[in-house]
Structure 1
């Protein structure tokens, strides 16, 4: 929301080759409470003035010698720092209104002036301009925060991967259907899954003998998209040997908060 005082303090540039028109608008704006008013009768100076001052509104006469208002607007478009062209054109030619809007003007004032209409159009355009600037500022802040957070996540992931190399037998990632997409270490062999299942469409083949209660508890945690730490599960083989594994994992989400899978580390605790 824009406070009324912000609108009255907005920066305005009056561009007209007629001194009487400049004086009229200066008096009109001053009487309405605007306090940050500048003017020029030289249209060739407008682009440079705007680059220095980033005006919130430019009142621009279209019919001027040497350089008309249309040429001024074309010049203003070259200012890459300002994607929003804050121009309110002044014209006595009905045919110029549409052309001015097509070139980039945000609104127009017709001669002869209706002072109530002029003040209303100026107020409305300034409100839109200030809202646009707030949105632009917020977008830059948000973009900086996203970049900062992304850098933090990359650093965290690098530390995490380094830790897994030192503290685990294996590291894995799975997609949203829980298919293995990345494996470091003998996790597939240890879990009794054919290694070629990772790189082909062949259905995974898993040995029997898992503790179903443990597997169900782990699966419930995964279905709830919850992280798990040092979860222990076991498997008994037909020859009487047994294995125990300790695993930790966390769900992964994309920037739209959509679940995209799991990643984790694990170690084999016993093998006999």
Structure 2
């Protein structure tokens, strides 16, 4: 993720200093560097309202001012913004002892008086890049979250359509939750699996002993379902009381949520053409 020169030079910058000469010097330096949105004030008590109205990307803040010093300005800015908001302040001080205190108060960096213009430009450039990249990343994350929500809604809608079409196109359909309990049954699924109706969500595992279904095939099918493993077109046969055999193709697949966590299992079966009656 990169910034264009236009994005960086279009950053909103506020100069706060009670000395007209310092304000003029910083304005000229920023204009020469190509910055296009530079504002200044010699009234520190107005900074908070100005920042609330249209937030600045960087505030060049003098610490020593008579009516309201820079520390009070930073306290006011922190009190009027959210706790996790970024405080885009570069302090200007002639007192070496104020540097650590300013950083502890929330300033992101400092420059010393008298100005070294090369150093001032470099620090401004770096802080603006950090600020704008941080904002760009936050916007990108919001956009990604929105895409995830939209995609999740689409997947849910697709899942509902798939379920409906599968039920219409098959003779049997069933769903189980992550614990193996049946949550949806359409068609003679329980009979196919050898479960009695009362054992729908019972761990006792009651089975029909003589119902015509091929026991070896049924056992393989039950093992696949118990293991939550996917399978496709497994053949299941059943001898009819009056003679003849019916065969079915049965398929099953595990279901996962967006975090790839197993949430259940589903399967469906269709009668094969050519079964003998």
Same fold at TM > 0.5? yes
RMSD over aligned CA atoms reads 3.9
Aligned residues: 263
Higher Cα radius of gyration:
2
Aligned counterpart, 2:132: 130
2-structure distance, mates of 1:145, 1:236: 48
Aligned counterpart, 2:193: 191
Q: Structure 2 vs 1, CA of residues 201 and 22 (structure 1 numbering), >3 Å: closer, same or farther?
A: farther
Q: Give yes or no for contact 1:209–1:236 (8 Å, CA) kept in 2.
A: no
**After superposition, what is the alpha-carbon deviation per residue over 1:136-187, rounded to whole angstroms, capped at 9, x for unaligned?**
1111111111121122223333444445665554321354xx9456343453
Deviation at 1:69, TM superposition (A): 2.4
1:209 aligned to 2:212?
no
Q: Structure 2 vs 1, CA of residues 264 and 201 (structure 1 numbering), >3 Å: closer, same or farther?
A: closer
Structure 2 residues without counterparts, runs of 5 or longer: none
Aligned counterpart, 1:115: 117
Aligned counterpart, 1:255: 258
Q: Give yes or no for contact 1:194–1:205 (8 Å, CA) kept in 2.
A: yes
Aligned counterpart, 2:53: 52
Q: Structure 2 vs 1, CA of residues 271 and 141 (structure 1 numbering), >3 Å: closer, same or farther?
A: farther
TM-score by length of 1: 0.75
Aligned counterpart, 2:87: 85
1-structure distance, mates of 2:89, 2:266: 54
2-structure distance, mates of 1:73, 1:266: 70
In the alignment, which of 149, 171, 176 is matched to residue 173 of structure 1?
A: 176
Where do 1:1-272 residues align within 5 Å? 1-77=2-78, 78-80=80-82, 83-163=85-165, 169-173=172-176, 175=178, 179-180=180-181, 182-185=183-186, 187-193=189-195, 199=201, 209-211=215-217, 223=229, 231=233, 233-236=235-238, 244-247=247-250, 249-257=252-260, 261-266=264-269
Q: Give yes or no for contact 1:7–1:126 (8 Å, CA) kept in 2.
A: yes
TM-score by length of 2: 0.74
Deviation at 1:37, TM superposition (A): 1.1
2-structure distance, mates of 1:97, 1:35: 29
Q: Structure 2 vs 1, CA of residues 253 and 233 (structure 1 numbering), >3 Å: closer, same or farther?
A: same
Q: Give yes or no for contact 1:172–1:265 (8 Å, CA) kept in 2.
A: no
Deviation at 1:121, TM superposition (A): 0.8
Classify the secondary structure of the residue corresponding to 2:215: coil
Classify the secondary structure of the residue corresponding to 1:12: strand
**130-139 vs 192-201, greater mean Cα deviation:** 192-201
